[in-house]
Amino acid sequence: MVLINTSWVLITGASSGFGEEFARQYAEQGHSLVLVARRLDRLQALAETLRHQYGIEVVTEQVDLSDIAAVTQLHQRLQDRGIEIYILINNAGHGLQGPFVDSTLDAALAMVQLDVASLTAITHVFARDMSKRGHGKILLVASLLAYQGVENFAVYAAAKAYVLRLGEALHRELYREGVTVTTLCPGMAETGFATAAQQKVTPVLKQLMMQPAPVVRAGIRALQVGRISVVPGWANKALVILTWATPRRMHQAFLSRAMNG
């Protein structure tokens, strides 16, 4: 039997991958959920499943988060309904593999808009609410690539580096206000992200591949205990240590080979 927890969790990019898994794990804990994504049919199907399985309240919001105005409108709609977000899972993001000059400028800027600008906007509007209340938790989903620039992932790696540094700074700023900020830096996982990003899955990446469930559990656990950041998986942790312990040209060459084959 699930003990119902009336505190609300907002999850962006909830229609698939990590977002869907976050929804399932928080539903299992009994939390009420606000699920946000562009694909309403997927959201509604997931919401119905979670309501039936766990007896929780689930609100679905079809939102194009790349539109900053849509972010503020989402925030206002939830306020109008009296829904206070206790936990924000900032998971929505977009990636694309390929040489920088071969992709269109629009594609590069669209990635920056969603992964940087929109993430900043949704973090800002809900962090202000949490700060005023004196409690709340925010998880930012970055990437293992946040720790280095990688050939053919230039904009994505740079965007995720922004997410990691933003999270580190906010962890210290908002701690004094009673708000926990944690950054999750996953490596390769079976979420469908690689297909959407037109990413080549090299033999090295296949060996490092993780399932979504343990990645999400690591993120939730780290957020709960107030860690500044977390890298799930021992192999991924080893890659971060390699980044810290070796000259830049060495680990960048290694990651380039691992990611691109």
Q: Return the active site residues.
A: 156
What distances in angstroms separate CA 237 from CA 113, 192, 222, 241, one per listed residue?
29, 22, 15, 6
Q: How many residues does the chain have?
A: 261
- What is the distance of C-alpha 105 from the center of its chain? 24
The answer to whether 145 and 154 have CB atoms below 8 angstroms apart is no
Q: Any idea of the CA torsion for 55, 8, 175, 217, to the nearest 10 degrees?
A: 40
Where would I find the beta strands (DSSP E) of the chain? Answer: 5-12, 31-37, 58-62, 85-90, 136-141, 179-184, 229-230
Largest CA distance in the chain: 54
Between CA 79 and CA 94 the distance in angstroms is 28
Instruction: Look at residues 147, 151, 156 and name the one whose alpha carbon lies nearest to residue 193.
Output: 156
- Tokens standing for residue 28: 């299992």
Question: Distance between CA atoms of 254 and 136, rounded to whole angstroms?
Answer: 39
DSSP string, 8-41: EEEEESTTSHHHHHHHHHHHHTTEEEEEEES-HH
